[in-house]
């Protein structure tokens, strides 16, 4: 058997292809997860495939994003999701039970399994030794229908951890240090696998924080071994039978090694507006702060909030800011209440929000105009907080708590002696907010409930050999899916209504985009490096497709968005010479000959008369899916 954790798990799951770096392999998927912002569309797609019951080992549907119910839309979607789960044999985690990644880690994740989820932070489960990847909702729907999930066999980067974290330094500082070194681009096709003696000093929640935010590097996933520490966590959750030992062999080899001495890490901070813009807190200085937000799927575990509660005990937050806390699960809240930590938070002045994503996706708690918000979240993209000119800093729970006390960005070491916390030997388990699947015969009798905002899936025609149209927009590097398809309380409720949500494509970048796309009959998008980084939201491909976008031509793509473009029949192309990006302008008339996509493509700029060579990384199957008009029509022929 191969030597690394990644190789061991993948070798058990490859159905087609060879384990050769860069070659496409088809993986058997054991589990899937969805959340409500992406799940409604994923299940509409699953229904369209026509399978009578899911074919995974198990799948879980969570409600944790669209919990702000200002009208009927979110409530209707939640009822749809619950009825679909009953009909097709899916676990359903009800609103209020917690954030999908935290609850999945606590109650579902299994070492050695493969998992895809319609949320980019699905790699959180890598903290327990699960090979977990974010994907678009259509890929999840296909996996539930029994189709394999295809990826390029990854380059395995070993991150060797030595030493032990000092007081006031935590797992968030570790992943910020990783991001400081590797940044948010250039890591497509890589798996970050953690090994070394330092791994044994990190708990499963610590590891999950690291694998969660590893998503921001752009890698396929991040993973830790499943060892005795993993076993103790599962035992405390009453799930010891799910444990298996999966550790790298002593002679395991990695394609690349990054060495990090945990003892040398200091409190870190990611400055606006990128998770890769990392500095030491001490070097940034005492920035005045208007808001502190603690939580998200990165830092809402019991360990993190117990630490915050201990720091705030007997103290009050600064009068110059407000503090919000979003616990990761009911289990976390239950323990905080019984231990007295919840009272510490309340007495200090924290506003405790429900167990949901909340401010992380712009669902409430937007900062003041021009405000500074210090958050324990994983993303600080411009405008993601709900306030376009806000400045968002990403930090650890320790740094956030110290900042909340002082009113300015604070190195927590300035508070003196660090508090000590003790994790429970046995967690308080209460799964009454998780609805289990019905027996198959009973499930067939379930009626699926659809509200008026849930619109039928649009259908798309097969892609022709020649694509023609205007350049609708030209953008720069590191364009995120938030830029393409914003989130927030206004737009998220429209996720099941493609005609309506398409009106908001590129809204924050170019408010005229929708009208141009409609009046010009669609066209092309041109971009720079790392196009489509961030969230897995397939609406960033589906809505542009609805508006007639035929191809996206950029210098490089982020992995999940590239897959989503293929899934919805938008041709993803890259400049053979990146300098040719400068030879195209918005409004130019283009003609792109793609043929059968078996080789390179040529672009003729009809406005300037220039010819530009393009290329792609499409496999033969990718090309077949594209030419069919997308994955949904393709999969219906093959399942």
- Find, among 19, 255, 227, the residue nearest to 112 by Cα: 227
- Judged against a pLDDT cut of 80, whether residue 443 lies above it is answered with yes
CB neighbour list of residue 317: distance below 8 Å, 6 or more residues apart: 292, 323, 348, 349, 350, 404, 405
Alpha-helical segments (H) within 451-580: 481-484, 488-491, 498-501, 513-519, 539-546, 559-567
Question: According to the model, what pLDDT value does residue 496 have?
Answer: 87
- Is 482 a residue of the active site? no
- Is 65 a residue of the active site? yes
Q: Please answer whether residues 158 and 50 qualify as being in contact, where contact means their C-beta atoms are separated by less than 8 angstroms.
A: no
Q: What is the DSSP string of 73-120?
A: HHHHHHHHHHHHHHHHT-EEE-TTSB-HHHHHHHHT--TT-EEEESST
- Torsion angle in degrees (nearest 10) through CA of 80, 81, 84, 89: -160
Looking at per-residue confidence, does 596 or 248 come out higher? 248
Domains and CATH numbers, the chain: 8-264 (3.30.499.10), 268-412 (3.30.499.10), 466-488+497-632 (3.20.19.10)
| pLDDT per residue as tens digits for the range 535-550 | 888 999 999 999 999 9
- Judged against a pLDDT cut of 90, whether residue 591 lies above it is answered with yes
- Judged against a pLDDT cut of 60, whether residue 562 lies above it is answered with yes
Mean pLDDT, the chain, rounded, equals 95
Q: What percent of the chain has pLDDT over 70?
A: 100
Alpha-helical segments (H) within 195-267: 204-213, 228-236
Q: What percent of the chain has pLDDT over 90?
A: 90
- Judged against a pLDDT cut of 90, whether residue 491 lies above it is answered with no
Q: Please answer whether residues 191 and 223 qualify as being in contact, where contact means their C-beta atoms are separated by less than 8 angstroms.
A: yes
Question: According to the model, what pLDDT value does residue 2 have?
Answer: 66
Catalytic option among 30, 36, 59, 65 = 65
- Is 535 a residue of the active site? yes
Catalytic option among 110, 330, 379, 561 = 379
Question: According to the model, what pLDDT value does residue 253 have?
Answer: 96
H/E segment holding residue 43: helix 36-49
| pLDDT per residue as tens digits for the range 341-385 | 999 999 999 999 999 998 998 888 999 999 999 999 999 999 899
Name which of 118-127, 243-252, 273-282, 494-503 the model is least confident about: 494-503
Question: Residue 193, exposed/middle/buried by CB under 10 A (0-12, 13-18, 19+)?
Answer: buried
Catalytic option among 64, 206, 588, 622 = 64
Q: Please answer whether residues 257 and 315 qualify as being in contact, where contact means their C-beta atoms are separated by less than 8 angstroms.
A: no
CB neighbour list of residue 579: distance below 8 Å, 6 or more residues apart: none
Q: Please answer whether residues 262 and 161 qualify as being in contact, where contact means their C-beta atoms are separated by less than 8 angstroms.
A: yes
Question: Residue 210, exposed/middle/buried by CB under 10 A (0-12, 13-18, 19+)?
Answer: buried
Greatest Cα pair distance in the chain = 72
Q: What is the DSSP string of 139-179?
A: HHHHHHTT--EEEEPPEEEEEEEES-PPTT--HHHHHHHHH
Catalytic option among 135, 535, 536, 556 = 535
Alpha-helical segments (H) within 459-571: 481-484, 488-491, 498-501, 513-519, 539-546, 559-567
Question: Residue 70, exposed/middle/buried by CB under 10 A (0-12, 13-18, 19+)?
Answer: exposed
For residue 280, name the pLDDT band (cuts at 50, 70, 90): very high
- Judged against a pLDDT cut of 70, whether residue 332 lies above it is answered with yes
Q: What is the mean pLDDT of residues 190-215?
A: 98
For residue 20, name the pLDDT band (cuts at 50, 70, 90): very high
- Judged against a pLDDT cut of 80, whether residue 60 lies above it is answered with yes
Q: Please answer whether residues 590 and 605 qualify as being in contact, where contact means their C-beta atoms are separated by less than 8 angstroms.
A: yes
Structure tokens at 584: 């195209």
- Judged against a pLDDT cut of 80, whether residue 575 lies above it is answered with yes
Report the distance separating Cα 26 and Cα 16, nearest Å.
5
**CA-CA distances (angstroms) from residue 282 to 140, 264, 268, 286, 406?**
43, 14, 8, 8, 15
- Judged against a pLDDT cut of 80, whether residue 1 lies above it is answered with no
**Is-cis flag, bond preceding 240, omega within 30?**
no
Structure tokens at 97: 């039970």
| pLDDT per residue as tens digits for the range 382-391 | 989 999 999 9
- Judged against a pLDDT cut of 80, whether residue 277 lies above it is answered with yes
Q: What is the mean pLDDT of residues 44-49?
A: 94
Q: Please answer whether residues 356 and 326 qualify as being in contact, where contact means their C-beta atoms are separated by less than 8 angstroms.
A: yes
């Amino acid at each position: 058997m191969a030597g690394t954790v990644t190789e061991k798990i993948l070798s058990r799951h490859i159905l087609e292809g060879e384990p050769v770096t860069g070659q496409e392999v088809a993986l058997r998927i054991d589990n899937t997860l969805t959340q409500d912002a992406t799940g409604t569309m994923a299940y509409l797609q699953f229904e369209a495939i026509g399978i009578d019951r899911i074919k995974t080992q198990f799948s879980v549907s969570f409600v944790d994003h669209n919990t702000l119910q200002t009208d009927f839309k979110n409530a209707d979607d939640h009822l749809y999701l619950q009825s679909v789960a009953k009909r097709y044999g899916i676990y359903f985690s009800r609103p209020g039970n917690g954030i999908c990644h935290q609850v999945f880690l606590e109650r579902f994740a299994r070492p050695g399994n493969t998992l895809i989820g319609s949320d980019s932070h699905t790699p959180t489960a890598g903290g327990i030794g699960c090979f977990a990847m974010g994907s678009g909702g259509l890929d999840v729907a296909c996996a539930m229908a029994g189709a394999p999930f295809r990826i390029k066999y990854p380059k395995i980067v070993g991150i060797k951890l030595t030493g032990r974290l000092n007081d006031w330094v935590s797992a968030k500082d570790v992943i910020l240090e990783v991001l400081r070194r590797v940044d948010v681009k250039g890591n497509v096709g890589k798996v970050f696998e953690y090994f070394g003696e330092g791994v044994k000093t990190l708990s499963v929640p610590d590891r999950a924080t690291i694998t969660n935010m590893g998503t921001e590097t752009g890698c396929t996933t991040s993973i830790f071994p499943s060892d005795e520490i993993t076993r103790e966590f599962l035992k405390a959750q009453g799930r010891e039978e799910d444990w298996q030992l999966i550790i790298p062999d002593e002679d395991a080899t990695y394609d690349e090694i990054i060495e990090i001495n945990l003892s040398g890490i200091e409190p870190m901070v990611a400055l606006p507006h990128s998770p890769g813009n990392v500095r030491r807190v001490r070097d940034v200085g005492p920035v005045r702060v208007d808001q502190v937000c603690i939580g998200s799927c990165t830092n809402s575990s019991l360990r993190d909030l117990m630490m915050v509660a201990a720091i705030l005990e007997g103290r009050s937050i600064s009068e110059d800011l407000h503090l919000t806390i979003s616990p990761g699960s009911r289990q976390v809240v239950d323990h905080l209440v019984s231990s007295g930590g919840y009272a510490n938070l309340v007495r200090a002045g924290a506003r405790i929000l429900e167990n949901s994503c909340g401010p992380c996706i712009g669902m409430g708690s937007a900062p003041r105009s021009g405000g500074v918000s210090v958050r324990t979240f994983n993303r600080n993209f411009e405008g993601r907080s709900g306030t376009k000119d806000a400045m968002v800093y990403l930090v650890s729970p320790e740094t956030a708590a110290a900042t909340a006390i002082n009113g300015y960005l604070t190195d927590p070491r300035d508070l003196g002696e660090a508090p000590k916390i003790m994790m429970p030997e046995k967690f308080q388990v209460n799964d009454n907010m998780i609805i289990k699947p019905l027996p198959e015969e009973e499930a067939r009798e379930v009626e699926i409930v659809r509200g008026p905002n849930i619109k039928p899936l649009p259908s798309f025609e097969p892609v022709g050999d020649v694509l023609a149209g205007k350049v609708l927009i030209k953008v720069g590097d590191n364009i995120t899916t938030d830029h393409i398809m914003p989130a927030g309380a206004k737009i998220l409720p429209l996720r099941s209504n493609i005609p309506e949500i398409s009106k908001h494509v590129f809204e924050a970048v170019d408010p005229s985009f929708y009208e141009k796309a409609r009046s010009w009959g669609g066209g092309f998008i041109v971009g720079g490096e790392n196009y489509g980084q961030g969230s897995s939201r397939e609406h960033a491909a589906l809505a542009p497709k609805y508006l007639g976008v035929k191809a996206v031509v950029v210098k490089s793509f982020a992995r999940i968005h590239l897959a989503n473009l293929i899934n919805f029949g938008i041709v993803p192309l890259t400049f053979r010479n990146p300098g040719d990006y400068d030879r195209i302008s918005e409004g130019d008339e283009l003609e792109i000959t793609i043929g059968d996509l078996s080789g390179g493509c040529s672009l003729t700029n009809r406005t300037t008369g220039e010819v530009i060579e393009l290329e792609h990384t499409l496999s033969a199957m990718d090309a077949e899916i594209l030419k069919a008009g997308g994955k949904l029509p393709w999969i219906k022929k093959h399942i």
